[in-house]
Structure 1
Amino acid sequence: MYILIKLKSTESNFFYVKKKNKKLSKKINLIKFDPSINKRVLFKEEKL
């Protein structure tokens, strides 16, 4: 079973929506591309 989470940029208001396994208890932190500032930045998990 999966749940939807929001990965929000630490430098702007841009976010991605991603599926996450329910059994995974750790919060996700990823470095992804942020098109609003044209950089790779850290994205942190938030509730949708």
Structure 2
Amino acid sequence: MARSTARPVVTLRSTAGTGVTYVTRKNRQNDADRLVLRKYDPVAGRHVAFREER
């Protein structure tokens, strides 16, 4: 079964500059812009914004 291009795999990189990444999928129809999620950064020891990397 082929993966849909409507839900691509995206990499989220920490805005704290620690180099921590998360990998997730997003719905392009609902989120056409770059995805920004607030997630836990274990290096920084707190929740920070993670921005989609292209």
Poorly superposed stretches of 4+, deviation over 4 Å: none
- Asked if residue 35 in structure 1 is aligned to residue 35 in structure 2, the reply is no
Q: Tell me how far 1:30 sits from its aligned partner.
A: 1.1
Number of aligned positions between the proteins: 47
**Greater relative contact order, per chain length (Cα 8 Å cut-off, separation 6+):** 1
TM-score w.r.t. structure 1 length?
Answer: 0.82
SS in 1 for 2:43: coil
Partner in structure 2 of residue 16 of structure 1: 22
Residue segments in structure 1 that go unaligned for 5+ positions in a row = none
Residue segments in structure 2 that go unaligned for 5+ positions in a row = none
Residues 3-37 of structure 1, C-alpha deviations (whole Å, 9 max, x = no match): 11011001110010001123231211111100112
Identical amino acids, percent of aligned pairs: 32
